[in-house]
């Protein structure tokens, strides 16, 4: 088990953990029925914090942020000598947490995406994780909700008896949701992004060699160039330059600013 605490990647505090340590932390919080904010961040997620002082404050309030992308893991190893042998990828973390939940007789809840995706996920996930107990699901509103509406959603989630809530709203909406609502639901909340589509069987993950090489972004760019070109063509080089500057001691981390309430749901 590897758990070397948080390290600074461009001002975002990312945990130097492996899957075993990440799962152990999440399950411990679930058993104790306490809020626990979790996200798996790739380059885009890190840069959302770099470019938004309020969102940086949100991210640095999380209990656990795992290096979802290989470039994030590489930066951690290069900047801080963490010695991480692998990333902790959101979709794989989702399955690992679900398997551990089965062992502990804990049920899980899924919030986000569309009803169609959730229906596919409910049918397919038990084939990937035999014995998984899905307490309930709720689709995204693809908008914002008032505090009263979020209180109502949280009450619904708690009423199912779930011990862990997975959130799939896309970055950075899902991190905002987890930050604002983990205390409301009083359980671990995990922002896991594309895990919903992958495990529902509606999207295909790239080959293992592509993932190991850190080229998953290239496949996504080829599939959705109009939607993603700005994210990858502009953000990736900016990230690389800033990591190099941090290595040379020339990077100045942005100053956090107290977040305002948004209410993504």
- Show the 3-state SS of 50-94: HCCHHHHHHHCCCCEEEECCHHHHHHHHHHHCCCCCCCCCHHHHH
In a domain, 145, yes or no: no
- CA dist 118 and 39 (Å) reads 20
Rg of the chain over Cα atoms, rounded to whole angstroms, equals: 18
10-residue block means of pLDDT along the chain (265 residues)?
A: 97 98 98 98 96 97 97 97 97 98 98 97 98 98 94 97 97 97 97 94 66 55 57 80 95 89 94
The predicted pLDDT at position 62 comes to 98
In a domain, 243, yes or no: no
69 C-beta neighbours (distance < 10 Å), count: 23
In a domain, 263, yes or no: no
In a domain, 231, yes or no: no
In a domain, 225, yes or no: no
The predicted pLDDT at position 236 comes to 87
- CA dist 174 and 67 (Å) reads 16
In a domain, 128, yes or no: yes
In a domain, 79, yes or no: yes
Total of domains in the chain: 1
Return the structure tokens found at 55: 């969102």
> What is the residue range of 59's domain?
3-139+153-193
3-state secondary structure (DSSP) of residue 25: helix
Q: Contact, 87 vs 69, CB < 8 A?
A: yes
- CA dist 139 and 112 (Å) reads 5
In a domain, 208, yes or no: no
pTM over 0.95: no
């Amino acid at each position: 088990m590897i758990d070397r605490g948080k390290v600074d990647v461009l001002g975002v505090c990312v945990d130097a953990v492996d899957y075993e340590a990440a799962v152990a932390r999440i399950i411990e919080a679930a058993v104790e029925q306490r809020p626990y904010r979790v996200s798996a961040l790739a380059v885009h997620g890190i840069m959302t914090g770099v470019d938004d002082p309020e969102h940086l404050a949100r991210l640095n309030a999380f209990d656990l942020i795992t290096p979802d992308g290989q470039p994030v893991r590489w930066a951690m190893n290069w900047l801080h000598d963490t010695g991480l042998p692998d990333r902790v990828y959101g979709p794989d973390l989702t399955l690992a947490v679900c398997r551990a939940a089965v062992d502990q007789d804990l049920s899980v809840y899924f919030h986000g995406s569309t009803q169609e995706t959730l229906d596919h996920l409910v049918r397919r996930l038990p084939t990937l994780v035999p014995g998984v107990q899905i307490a309930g699901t709720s689709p995204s509103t693809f908008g914002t909700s008032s505090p009263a509406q979020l209180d109502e959603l949280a009450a619904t989630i708690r009423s199912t008896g779930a011990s862990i809530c997975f959130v799939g709203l896309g970055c950075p909406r899902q991190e905002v949701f987890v930050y604002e609502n983990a205390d409301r639901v009083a359980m671990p909340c995990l922002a896991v992004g594309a895990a919903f589509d992958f495990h529902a069987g509606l999207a295909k993950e790239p080959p293992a060699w592509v993932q190991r090489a850190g080229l998953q972004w290239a496949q996504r760019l080829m599939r959705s160039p109009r939607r993603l070109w700005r994210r990858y063509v502009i953000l990736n080089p900016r990230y690389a330059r800033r990591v190099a500057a941090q290595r040379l001691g020339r990077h100045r981390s942005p100053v956090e600013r107290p977040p305002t309430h948004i209410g993504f749901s």
